[in-house]
Structure 1
């Protein structure tokens, strides 16, 4: 259920940190009478997301699962971006998913989930044995050579995925952080494709529809490119772009 937006709700800054990619801030808005508080993440002075309504994040995960070939057992999903935790929490609430990996580059965001206010959203998911959090830039994670015995990783851990769900920045056409653009470039899409199993699905959240990005997905070798819209309270609809890798 979306939380009503009240323009005069008091806003409190809970944490502010400077990192390698700029400033990230966690704020609490409200609570208004009879409503829970809303937590907001601000990056480099720009609003990214809040906990008022998680419909589009849930659709991101559900749409990826629906698009997978029928009968695929315990598919592995990679979620790019932890954000306020809606995508992770929704994936962990679905027993059909197998391994769930979240890649988040901002240590502050991870801390807000593990020991801070956002644990109210993701606490149960973080305790799920299927869930693994990787602190890394997503494009670097996708491009990195697979770890071997000399690394501090589980050597038998599988690094390919049935679905990749991207919820990074504001989507492909407007990024708050300049270097996030690389993820939506031909190089970034090729990196996503390389880590998908045959028949795998790439699902990409965006704050607005993008015909240009749909064409980029086709040019990257994906098939079945579609876009699903999610009506929001204010402004243009959020969307999820879906693309399928040939089996």
Structure 2
């Protein structure tokens, strides 16, 4: 088996290190301690984040904000199921945007061409409002593994802010690596009609992840 090659390192606002590795055509982004955040071979749940949101939204030419670029799985899925969408992507670690073109061009293709990339905290960008859908995949889920600052995004106040940023009937979809019974209740308390969906990390295999789809 081919060994992993370390390609680059990025630093989060909190000072944590993210490392990009490659093995053949496979890519992996990991925390400094080795915890894998994403892998180019497992895209199913990130794609479902987009498809489930669009299904619930049922709206033409939606304005959509994606929180977290990652490896672009959610973005590409959104472009396929809603080709007329106006898309903004918020990413707080600018190096990840560079990795998309410098190292993972084969993964990303040309999906960034018609997208507004916004470098910064999605919690601040949300405040601009006027979105038909907000798709959040900025951490391991509501437990805030990679950034303590993400806790506010998933708090009651953060969820109320997201709801205020949505148009009537708009959708907030949130990805998580693990179930969290309290989070669905917080979404409901913030005024969302919530569905909780379990999806595979891969299209037919891998761990089960969770997506909450909330409608304003």
TM-score (normalizing by structure 1): 0.80
**1:221 aligns to what?**
191
The answer as to whether partners of 1:73 and 1:96 remain within 8 angstroms in 2 is: no
User: 2:29 matched to 1:41?
Assistant: yes
- 1:8-87 maps to which residues of 2 (within 5 A)? 9-22=2-15, 23-28=17-22, 30-31=23-24, 37-45=25-33, 46-68=35-57, 70=58, 72-87=59-74
Cα distance change on mapping 1:240 and 1:168 into 2, 3 Å:
same
**1:81 Cα shift?**
0.2
**1:5 aligns to what?**
none
Q: Give the number of aligned pairs.
A: 211
The answer as to whether partners of 1:142 and 1:191 remain within 8 angstroms in 2 is: yes
**1:121 Cα shift?**
2.3
TM-score (normalizing by structure 2): 0.90
**1:154 aligns to what?**
none
**1:116 aligns to what?**
102
Unaligned runs of 5+ in 1: 1-7, 32-36, 147-158
Cα distance change on mapping 1:47 and 1:101 into 2, 3 Å:
same
**2:214 aligns to what?**
243
- 1:150-161 maps to which residues of 2 (within 5 A)? 159-161=129-131
Report the RMSD for the aligned CA atoms in angstroms: 1.7
Cα distance change on mapping 1:135 and 1:174 into 2, 3 Å:
closer
User: 2:126 matched to 1:126?
Assistant: no
Question: In structure 2, what is the Cα distance between the partners aligned to 1:60 and 1:170?
Answer: 14
**1:234 Cα shift?**
4.5
Q: Moved runs in structure 1, 4+ residues, more than 6 A?
A: none
**1:100 aligns to what?**
87
Question: In structure 2, what is the Cα distance between the partners aligned to 1:180 and 1:119?
Answer: 28
User: 2:122 matched to 1:141?
Assistant: no
Unaligned runs of 5+ in 2: none
Question: In structure 1, what is the Cα distance between the partners aligned to 2:138 and 2:3?
Answer: 27
**1:180 Cα shift?**
1.4
* Higher RCO structure, 1 or 2 (CA under 8 Å, sep 6+): 2
Cα distance change on mapping 1:44 and 1:179 into 2, 3 Å:
farther
The answer as to whether partners of 2:20 and 2:27 remain within 8 angstroms in 1 is: yes
The answer as to whether partners of 1:88 and 1:125 remain within 8 angstroms in 2 is: yes
Match of 1:168 among 138, 162, 173: 138
